[in-house]
Structure 1
Amino acid sequence: MTTVYRRRKRQFLQLVLTCFSCCFILIYWEQLDVNVISHLKSYSYRYLINKYSFLNDSMSLNKEIAARLHNYQYLITHENKCQDQDVLLLLFVKSSPKNSHRRDAIRQTWGNEQYIYSELKAIIKVIFVLGIHKDLSQRKRVQRNLLVEDQQHSDLIQQDFYDDFHNLTLKLIFQFEWANTFCKNAKFVMSSDDDVFIHTPNLINYLLQLDKEIMNFWIGRVHRGAPPIRNKESKYYVPYEMYQWPSYPDYTAGAGYVVSQDVAVKVYKALMTLNTSLYIDDVFMGICAKMMEVPPQNHIYFAGEGKAPYHPCIYNQMMTSHGHVKDVHHLWREATHAKVTSLTSGFWGQLYCRLIKVFLLCKPYYVDTYPCIAAFS
């Protein structure tokens, strides 16, 4: 009797547990599908996306039709910006017309061309990429201010499409078109946002150490097997009609990535033959590069969408960090201070920084910044 009772009790508990699990899955299915299942499906599908050409075949257009999709007029440009100069890096910064304070902060800190040349003897060109202000009531005033700003700094380029999140692919095309038209002599081309902090001395030193004949070079924070967002409430929502596959090709986060000149040429050629309706610009960059058979290379000190921890041991190897607006001047002073080198050099300095980086980067939970492996580099 006791044995029968125990068996029935166990069966009852199993039934309750099964019902509870089913209810949990039904209630939270959407979250599970978005956060777990869709990622598993997309990552398993990424091999097909990266290996075969059906994605490019589905997005390819007649060259004349593709050209008409992004035939916009130049409002501000500088055709001679790179002329007769040995440009190491052409650095595009995607910026909104109203963000003049961000552009000024960049000019005074990591985007200071004169500082880079005086300290590192390298020529960089920092270009802010703009569309036109969406609000018609403010457009004339904003445009006048942009013209005054450009007369002072000569570093703005602008076309007459609306400056909007859904037009970021147009900015991508604009960047590579300008680079291939007016700055073919730049060895490297970079794309970033105006809320990204770039440790330009670290980046320039890294680029200077590369082989002069380097080709197929494309570095940044690589996303592998990322699924399209199907949630209509999301900023990154992409409908099936726009992109039908369960996985994007491998791509680098649009917050900051660097390509060699030959890749810039290849991507521009791809841009001229693809349907540009997909407005997630970094994904579209991945599609273009895949078409030209250029794989992205992950660099652990490109932060992608994350913000790097504030510490001299991090600054010593930092390349990019995302989400900086009000702290740009402070971070620039701290990151380029002589104490960074003195603190991180020598055996004890390196050991100290190893421990600090393990503490800052190796968390038991996900943090969107540099990976734990960066603590051991």
Structure 2
Amino acid sequence: MRNKLSMQLALTAKMCGCSISRYTRSTVVENPFKSVRRLLRGWKGKLCLLLVTLLLLLLTFVWCAYYFAPYRLAFDIKVATFNWTILNKETCSQQNQPLLLIIIRSSPDRWDRRKAIRATWGDPCTYDRLRVHYMFLVGTYAGWNKVTVNQLLQLEFSLYRDIAQYDYADGYTRLSLKQIAAFTIAIKYCSNFPFVFMTDEDFLVHIPNLVSYIETIKTDDYATFIGGYLYNDSSPVRQRLNRYYVPAEVYPNGTYPWFTAGGATLLATQLIERLLVELPKLPTRLHLEDVTTGIILQKLQIKPRNIEKICILWGSCQDIPFEKRIAVHGYETTADLKRDWNKLNLPSTC
């Protein structure tokens, strides 16, 4: 019995990391506190190792957050040249009365969202197809299954012909590059459309309401028009771990110029041409493409306009009936998008 107890204690001590040469019944019974101290000594060693490991992980995270911050990974727009891996160059030549081109910034692997948009607000039976055209804009997928994703994109394009893909990696830190790609398409292939609406795949866009708004814009304003959800008192974020972080050496001013949220911006094509000319002249680079546009607009002495019916922030359009809104942000799931789209119950023109 004594030997069995000693073996059990020795095994327990070994698991706890203690160095114990011999345990007897007398040491366990007569010196219980000494045994506990030895056990605790083993756990302290393990706890110390755990704390050191957590500290190293924390330091690694901070290092990565600093050296791989979005502003550091922003693509140098001065050397941006595009090769299109997927593009229907005749995509904008089929409208007899072109008015509005909608460019939807999408992730290469989010075919579920593209499918949902085609079935909801992108359904051509709910707007005038002779005046409005849309396309999805994606970069190259860089994940581990990139070959499969890019092959599926090719298949998707062969079915719908509504995707444009350029040959740079997609991602949040390269939104400025995606913006230039969108501007390039608008000028090079779709200049017959006087207006371009830039949006993201997590929006619901009421195209008839958007067209109605465009029809109120005066012809004299076509050369300078840009509008959306307006930020007129926004400051740079200086916290390093924030995705919007911009250090003072990149942008030293305390406030940004006026700019519209990049996820839902309406621009005149004539203005896009001027923006493309000015973009390579910027002395610094930002991963925040909407702020970049605001900096250029300030240089051109053009003020962006606020479009009240474009709803970006939660609660920003509570006073506007849902059916009167132009664009609504924040659809994390396709089910939510379809649910709200069905509420509109728009008449079909097909």
- Per the normalisation by structure 1, the TM-score is 0.66
- Which of the two has higher C-alpha Rg? 2
Question: Over residues 349-375 of structure 1, what are the superposed CA-to-partner deviations in whole Å (9 max), with x where a residue is unaligned?
Answer: xxxxxxxxxxxxxxxxxxxxxxxxxxx
- Say yes or no: does 1:289 pair with 2:300: no
2-structure distance, mates of 1:149, 1:108:
15
- Say yes or no: does 1:267 pair with 2:275: yes
Specify whether residues 83 and 95 from structure 1 end up closer, same or farther in structure 2 by C-alpha distance, changes over 3 A only: same
1-structure distance, mates of 2:82, 2:343:
41
- 1:152 Cα deviation from its structure 2 partner: 0.7
In structure 2, what is the equivalent of residue 116 of structure 1?
127
Structure 1: gaps (5+ residues): 1-65, 339-377
1:74–1:159 Cα contact (<8 Å) kept: yes
Specify whether residues 187 and 254 from structure 1 end up closer, same or farther in structure 2 by C-alpha distance, changes over 3 A only: same
AA partner of residue 171 (structure 2) = D
1:97 pairs, out of 79, 101, 108, with 108
Show the 5 A alignment for 1:162-181: 162-181=169-188
- 1:148 Cα deviation from its structure 2 partner: 0.4
- 1:288 Cα deviation from its structure 2 partner: 2.3
In structure 1, what is the equivalent of residue 92 of structure 2?
82
1:270–1:291 Cα contact (<8 Å) kept: no
Specify whether residues 276 and 87 from structure 1 end up closer, same or farther in structure 2 by C-alpha distance, changes over 3 A only: farther
1:248 pairs, out of 232, 235, 256, with 256
1:155 pairs, out of 162, 168, 172, with 162
AA partner of residue 323 (structure 1) = G
- 1:176 Cα deviation from its structure 2 partner: 0.5
1:220–1:304 Cα contact (<8 Å) kept: no
In structure 2, what is the equivalent of residue 191 of structure 1?
198
1:129 pairs, out of 113, 116, 137, with 137
- Say yes or no: does 1:333 pair with 2:321: no
1-structure distance, mates of 2:316, 2:115:
22
2:324 pairs, out of 292, 297, 317, with 317
1:277 pairs, out of 270, 273, 285, with 285
- Say yes or no: does 1:142 pair with 2:152: no
1-structure distance, mates of 2:318, 2:235:
31
AA partner of residue 327 (structure 1) = D
Specify whether residues 307 and 225 from structure 1 end up closer, same or farther in structure 2 by C-alpha distance, changes over 3 A only: closer
AA partner of residue 82 (structure 2) = Y
1:91–1:191 Cα contact (<8 Å) kept: yes
AA partner of residue 229 (structure 1) = V
- 1:228 Cα deviation from its structure 2 partner: 0.8
Specify whether residues 238 and 76 from structure 1 end up closer, same or farther in structure 2 by C-alpha distance, changes over 3 A only: same
Question: Over residues 132-187 of structure 1, what are the superposed CA-to-partner deviations in whole Å (9 max), with x where a residue is unaligned?
Answer: 1121x211000000000011111111112111110000001111011110011101
2:118 pairs, out of 107, 119, 124, with 107
1:190–1:257 Cα contact (<8 Å) kept: yes
Question: Over residues 300-335 of structure 1, what are the superposed CA-to-partner deviations in whole Å (9 max), with x where a residue is unaligned?
Answer: 111124366789x61232011111133111211212
Specify whether residues 151 and 205 from structure 1 end up closer, same or farther in structure 2 by C-alpha distance, changes over 3 A only: same
- 1:122 Cα deviation from its structure 2 partner: 4.9
Specify whether residues 114 and 288 from structure 1 end up closer, same or farther in structure 2 by C-alpha distance, changes over 3 A only: farther
AA partner of residue 337 (structure 2) = V
1:69–1:276 Cα contact (<8 Å) kept: no
Count of residue pairs brought into register by the alignment: 268
AA partner of residue 298 (structure 2) = K
SS in 2 for 1:316: helix
Cα root mean square deviation, aligned: 2.2
- Say yes or no: does 1:222 pair with 2:225: no
In structure 2, what is the equivalent of residue 373 of structure 1?
none
- Per the normalisation by structure 2, the TM-score is 0.71
Specify whether residues 307 and 133 from structure 1 end up closer, same or farther in structure 2 by C-alpha distance, changes over 3 A only: farther
- 1:213 Cα deviation from its structure 2 partner: 4.7
2:309–2:317 Cα contact (<8 Å) kept: no
